[in-house]
Structure 1
Amino acid sequence: MSDNSNLPAISKQVTELVLAGSLSHAEQAFAEAAEQHGDLAVVEVLNNIPPHVTALHMAGFDGGKLSLATLLVPPKAWAQSLAYLAATWPDDLIEDDPERIAESLFAHIHGVVFGTEDEERRNELLQEASATDWGCTAFAILFSMAPKEVLELAGEIISKGPYITGQTTSDNDVVPLALALAKASEDGWDRALFELFPDFRHSADLADAEFSDDPDDEPSFLQRSTKELLYRLRKQVPSTRSTAAKAGSRRSMGTGIFN
């Protein structure tokens, strides 16, 4: 990047465009910055714009829509922006169609994490996101779409440790993301499991729990629903006076399975 003197102006421009709802124009501003100054200019802008602006911009893109922000967002900036995604969800949609929001959140997180072939960047993205309370809740929302498969994976991790393959009886798309999280951050994996299953312990008995095919049946142990987790994430959206919540306040089992 030959000249970064224009970056404050670009950051201001992008912020104003996003807040005005002109996401396509904001993306165009990113593209022009990359063309004139290189990809690092986009990285720098994403580092400098407020995290709620990043959230608003990236909420307009999912795994099926290519965005420079998706490809280049710095891990820490992305982790901070996740705190604000829930503020973009309509209340009636949370109440009436929580699965639709969960699927959209999955498309977003999956698109960012697997939008790169760089394993180091992928691990950094997962580590930064799961180091926050809201990030762990976001992962729990995704896991709530496939609780049986996630517990099956937890059981395989418990029994095989570093020899984990990630193979389960299901080809659900959540499983590769869950495995990537477990390998990138054991603490983040544990905390996301605790969010979904508050009674979770590293026990084969729980990991082998039976799931009924009848959606009206009560689960045999405490499990938070997708809707409940969406509301939990909504409550974690920082206020405008406090834009950074404390991370790392939850308990962790610290199993060291991938050492």
Structure 2
Amino acid sequence: MSDETSNKNLPAISKQVTELVLAGSLSHAEQAFAEAAEQHGDLVVAEVLQNIPPHVTALHMAGFDGGKMSLATLLVPPKAWADSLAYIAATWNEDMIEDDPERIAESLFAHIHGVVFATDDEERRNELLQEASATDWGCTAFATVFSLAPKEVMELAGEIISKGQYITAQTGSDSDIAPLAVALAKASEDGWDRALFELFPEFRHSADLADAEFSDDPDEEQPFMQRSTKELLYRMRKQVPSTRNASGRTGRRSLGSGIFS
């Protein structure tokens, strides 16, 4: 399809998808994506996702998880997905945050995992992780997911320090979260460190974290302060654009350096 045809159809498709999503008709929005891809090619779907407001992308993609494949999951541009993550917390019911935070975190994990591992394209995977972890809300989202398996994340932190680029996603419990954590660490050293800092705000170097003894007893005091899943979900709520800075990308320093050098 030519650029002229793309430019001609893009506004109408974008308007159609936006209206459907805001009306709550996610299945119809997905059908509109499918028809656009069939008639004009996948590039148009990616361009629509790049141009519609990120809160619309968040609303649409929040209706899909690892078990419900979406064209948006496969084709969303990395920057558009990273921007949409700023709004996903606005789709959560506050009562559920209070009553069942782990369920929301598991849904968030399914969303992130579904997008990152939707294809075998390693370059796209790295771009998705780099863009998402370059934002404050993205790092909080990763920390929220990691809070479901803090012991495994701590174990991986030590493995990363000792093995560097040769790290694998195998841990003692073979947690489903491990492959995502390893992929993030490989894609962005800074993003990995920032996510760890969100989860364990008192540590100052991942080596300190890796050397710590993490207890399986939730009532036992841990060697590092750990934010709970609920606390991290509320932190994401506070980072929704109405209460964040304009860019969301800060100069927060990296906690580690050259872990894969």
Q: TM range, normalised to the smaller chain?
A: over 0.9
8 A Cα contact 2:20 2:29, kept in partner: yes
Q: Which residue of 2 aligns with 1:12?
A: 15
Give the structure-1-normalised TM-score.
0.95
Question: How many residue pairs get matched?
Answer: 258
Q: TM-score, normalised by structure 2?
A: 0.95
The 1:69/1:252 distance shift into structure 2, 3 A limit, reads same
2:124 match = 121
Secondary structure of residue in 2 paired with 1:220:
coil
1:111 aligns with 2:114: yes
> More deviation in 213-222 or 227-236?
213-222
Residue 198 of structure 1 pairs with residue 201 of structure 2: yes
Q: Is 1:7–1:41's contact at 8 Å kept on the other side of the alignment?
A: yes
Q: How far has the Cα of 1:180 moved from its partner?
A: 0.2
How much does 1:58 deviate? 0.1
Q: Which residue, 138, 160, 181 being the options, matches 1:157?
A: 160
Residue pair 2:137, 2:248 contacting (<8 A) in 1 also: no
Query: Is the CA contact (8 Å cut-off) linking 1:158 and 1:202 kept in structure 2?
Result: no
Cα separation, 2, equivalents of 1:61 and 1:116 = 16
Tell me the CA shift for residue 215 of structure 1.
2.1
Q: Which deviates further from its counterpart, 154-163 or 17-26? A: 154-163
Shift of 1:254: 4.2
Kept after mapping to 2: 8 A contact 1:132/1:248? yes
List aligned pairs for 1:30-179, cutoff 5 A: 30-179=33-182
Distance (whole Å) between structure 2 residues aligned to residue 25 and residue 127 of structure 1: 31
Contact 1:79 1:132 (8 Å CA) reproduced? yes
Counterpart-to-counterpart distance in 2, 1:206 and 1:237: 29
Is 1:229 the counterpart of 2:232? The answer is yes
Displacement, 1:119? Answer: 0.4
Contact 1:133–1:250 (Cα < 8 Å) also in 2: no
Structure 1: 5+ residue stretches without partners: none
Distance 2:84 2:170 in 1: 31
Deviation, 1:221, is 1.8
In the alignment, the residues of structure 2 paired with residue 12 and residue 206 of structure 1 have an alpha-carbon distance, to the nearest angstrom, of 48
The match for 1:250 is 252
Displacement, 1:159? 1.6
Identity of aligned residues (%): 84
Cα 1:229/1:20, change in 2 over 3 Å: same
> What whole-Å deviation, never above 9, does each CA across 1:23-78 have from its counterpart, x for those lacking one?
00000000000001000000000011000000000000000001000000000000
1:204 Cα shift? Answer: 4.0
**Match in the other structure for 1:188:** 191
Render the CA deviation track for 1:69-90: whole Å, top value 9, x for unaligned: 0000000000000000000000
**Residue identity in the other structure for 1:111:** G
Query: Where does structure 1 differ by over 6 angstroms across 4 or more consecutive aligned residues?
Result: none
Q: Is the 8 A contact 1:144 1:196 kept in 2?
A: yes
Contact 2:157 2:206 in 1 (8 A): no
Q: 1:27 and 1:199, CA in 2 relative to 1: closer, same or farther beyond 3 A?
A: same
Per-residue CA deviation, residues 99-119 of structure 1 (Å, 9 max, x unaligned), is 000000000000000001100
Separation in 2, partners of 1:238, 1:69 = 22
1:239, distance to aligned residue in structure 2 (A) = 1.8
Specify whether residues 53 and 244 from structure 1 end up closer, same or farther in structure 2 by C-alpha distance, changes over 3 A only. farther
- Determine which of 8, 26, 30 is the counterpart of 1:27: 30
Give the residue type in structure 2 aligned to 1:139.
Answer: F
